[in-house]
Amino acid sequence: MIMKKHFLLAVLLLPAGLFAQSLQKITLTEAYELSQKNYPAVKQKDLVKQTAAISLENLQKGFLPQFSLSGQATYQSDVTKVPFSLPGLTIESPSKDQYKLVADVSQMIYDGGMTKEQKALQQLNATVEDQKVEVELYKLKERINQLYLSILYLDEQLKQVDLVKTDIQIGIKRVEAQVQNGVAFKSNLNMLKAELLKTEQRAIEVKSSKKGLLDALSLFIGRELAAQVQLEKPVSAGIVANEIARPELKLYSEQQKFIGQQEKLITAKNLPRASLFAQGGYGRPGLNMLLNEFDFFYIGGLRLNWSLGGLYTKKKEKEQVTINKKMVEVQKETFLLNTSSQLKQQQAEIDKLQQLLVSDNEIISLRKSVTEAAKAQLENGVITANDFLKEVNAEDQARQTLITHQVQLLQAQINYQTILGK
């Protein structure tokens, strides 16, 4: 039941059309490319672009004419009165109930560079967010490396299992002849047959583990990998002294630019703004306060606005920007330190494994000669089947160690390049 649930979950996670595209051969580089195209996080890049485009469009509209409509009806306790009278002239005081409906249109002509700096900030923010996705996609390489190299390791394990099976089968044929001739016990034959079955069980376990890893890799790359798929063994480039070229470094650089743009925005928002405006309205009284009747009116001119409240906080805001810059710089230094440490560890691992492989090959050569001698001894009845199996298993263990060290070396070399940013 649990296996069924896992299978159904895997099917749901697979993209449409996956099963129609079964790969028979793949390289590590192709696995990188396919996984990055198929990884859900890659969709964020388009969303970041769309968000930035919308924000920039809205900012650009800040220089479009701005319209407003307002109205009011008021009653006041007192109104302006002329404190004197003239013969033959009556000056009527305004009514205490007054009404006004005003339409206002303004056109920004100078905003202190606020819109320009906001647009630049938005573009830099989009770049930062896009680079964060690149960092996440690059980290995906580590998962692909682990899956890909694990499958290669199991492939080598299967090859070794076949070699052991061949040796045991040779021993079975020789002991069968001895049993038929009455010079060996059947228990010796049964011992070899039991060991052959154990070896076949081992092959089943390895194949099952390989299938699980292939299914996991299929999910990442969005393509079905056939059971007999050929994974090309990567050829690791020699370790050379290269500079670190990780996407994280570009992210830190873009973050510094973003913070620097924030400083420009602080300056811009504390500059004066100028705009043209025009107002038209209808109310009682109009612009002529001495005319106590409803009338149309209009007014136009140049409006200057300078908010000085930001000057109180400008200095502290810039200090905060400076602190933020230093924080990013510290993050960069920490990253470089940790990355350099990882590179040294991988280099030490590479050196160790290269030395181990030399002795592994020598051990296998010696063990192989012992196994060949054991085959002859078994045929001549000098040793028992149990003695023969000990030598076969000893050679098998030596080869297993070699396979492990080979894959570990390849993994260390690939990890070195991945950590470096290559």
**Sign (positive/negative) of CA torsion 124, 129, 130, 134?**
positive
Tens of pLDDT along the chain (422 residues) come to 333 334 334 434 444 444 445 678 899 999 999 998 998 888 888 888 898 999 888 888 888 898 999 999 998 888 877 776 667 666 677 888 889 999 999 988 988 888 899 999 999 999 999 999 999 999 899 999 999 999 999 999 999 999 999 999 998 998 888 888 887 788 888 989 999 999 999 999 999 999 999 999 999 999 999 888 899 988 765 566 578 899 999 999 999 999 999 999 988 888 899 999 999 999 988 888 778 888 898 999 999 988 887 777 888 889 999 999 999 999 999 999 999 999 999 999 999 999 999 999 999 999 999 999 998 898 888 888 888 999 999 999 999 999 999 999 999 999 999 999 88
Q: How far is CA 79 from CA 73, 75, 139, 243, 422, in A?
A: 15, 10, 75, 81, 81
Beta bridge partners of 72: 100
CA distance 358 to 368: 16
pLDDT (0 to 100) of residue 349: 93
Two tokens at 128?
């930062």
pLDDT (0 to 100) of residue 6: 40
Residues 6+ apart with CB under 8 A from 384: 188, 378
- The mean pLDDT of the chain is 87
Which architecture characterizes domain 17-73+95-420 according to CATH?
Up-down Bundle (1.20)
Query: What are the sequence ranges of the domains in the chain?
Result: 17-73+95-420
CA distance 417 to 389: 42
CA distance 386 to 409: 34
Beta strands in 285-405 (DSSP E): 295-305
Which helix H or strand E contains 108, and what residues bound it? strand 97-110
Two tokens at 108?
């920004």
Residue type present at position 358? V
